[in-house]
C-alpha cells in the first residue's frame, strides 16, 4: 500500500514567486536580500545577502568573544547576538525580518525595551506581518514540494543559489525547477523537474553532485 503525498506548487499558492531561475550565465541572477531593518547583518559584519554558513561563522565568533568565559565577556552583547541568531538562522523568522518594510523595524527585545521606556503602547506602533498579498514582500523563485513544510521556501532558495552557480560546469543553460521531497535525488525528464532530497544540505558540493550526475543526460538529449 502506498502513501499519499500532498503536492505543492508555490506558483499556484496564495504566495507565488517570480517564476523559475534561468541557468544562463547572462540572465541568471538569484534574487538576494538587501534589507537589514535592525542592522543585524551589519552588527555581524556581513552583507544582507550572506549565506547561512557565513551567518553561523560570524555568530560563533561573537559567541566566543562575548561569552562569560570568552575573550571579552559581555552578557548584554552575548544575549544580543543570541537573539540575532534566533532570527537569522530560523527560516520563518529570517523571512519575516527581511520582509520588514522600508522605514519600519522588526520587533525584537531591544525595540520592545525602547518602546517600554517611552511609554508607548506596542499595539499602536506595530504593523501585523502579512504572509501574503503584500506588494513589498520578499521576492523568491518558485518551487515544488512533496508534503510541503514551513522551511521549504528558504531551503529552495538556497538550493537555487548553488545550482545556478554550478550549472555552467555541466553546460546546463536552461531554467531549472526543483521539487523538495523526502526521497532520493532524481530528474523528472517529462516535467523538467530536479528532485532534491530535503535531508541534503544545500552547498556547492551537493549541487554539483546533483547536476553532474543527473543533468548531463538532459544536456545530451536536448
By CB atoms closer than 10 A (0-12, 13-18, 19+), residue 122 is: exposed
Q: What are the helix (H) ranges across the chain? A: 40-43, 52-66, 75-88, 91-98, 109-117, 122-125, 152-166, 204-214, 216-221
> Given the C-alpha cell 499602536, which residue does it identify?
124
d(CA 180, CA 151): 10
- Measured CA to CA, the distance from residue 202 to residue 143 in angstroms comes to 15
With a cut of 50, which residues of the chain have pLDDT below it? 1-2, 27-28, 129-137, 219-222
Intervals of CATH 1.10.287.110 along the chain: 40-125
pTM: 0.50
For 40-125, the fitting CATH number among 3.30.499.10, 1.10.287.110, 2.60.40.350, 3.40.47.10 is 1.10.287.110
pLDDT of amino acid 134: 45
**Residue 8 β-bridge partners:** 145
DSSP H or E segment with residue 18: none
The answer to whether the beta carbons of residues 146 and 180 sit under 8 Å apart is: yes
Amino acid at each position: 500500500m502506498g502513501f499519499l503525498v500532498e503536492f505543492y506548487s508555490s506558483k499556484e499558492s496564495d504566495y507565488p514567486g517570480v517564476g523559475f531561475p534561468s541557468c544562463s550565465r547572462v540572465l541568471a541572477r538569484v534574487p538576494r536580500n538587501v534589507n537589514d531593518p535592525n542592522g543585524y547583518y551589519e552588527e555581524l559584519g556581513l552583507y544582507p545577502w550572506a549565506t547561512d554558513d557565513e551567518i553561523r561563522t560570524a555568530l560563533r565568533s561573537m559567541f566566543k568573544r562575548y561569552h562569560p568565559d570568552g575573550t571579552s565577556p559581555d552578557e548584554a552583547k552575548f544575549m544580543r547576538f543570541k537573539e540575532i541568531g534566533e532570527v537569522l538562522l530560523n527560516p520563518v523568522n529570517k523571512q519575516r525580518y527581511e520582509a520588514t518594510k522600508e522605514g519600519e523595524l522588526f520587533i525584537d527585545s531591544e525595540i520592545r525595551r525602547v518602546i517600554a521606556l517611552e511609554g508607548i503602547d506596542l499595539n499602536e506602533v506595530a504593523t501585523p506581518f502579512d504572509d501574503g498579498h503584500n506588494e513589498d514582500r520578499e521576492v523568491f523563485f518558485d518551487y515544488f514540494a512533496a508534503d510541503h513544510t514551513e522551511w521549504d521556501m528558504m531551503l529552495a532558495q538556497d538550493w537555487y543559489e548553488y545550482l545556478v552557480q554550478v550549472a555552467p560546469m555541466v553546460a546546463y543553460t536552461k531554467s531549472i525547477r526543483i521539487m523538495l521531497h523526502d526521497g532520493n535525488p532524481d530528474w523528472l525528464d517529462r516535467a523538467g523537474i530536479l528532485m532534491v532530497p530535503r535531508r541534503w544540505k544545500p552547498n556547492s558540493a551537493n549541487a554539483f553532485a546533483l547536476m553532474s550526475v543527473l543533468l548531463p543526460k538532459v544536456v545530451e538529449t536536448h
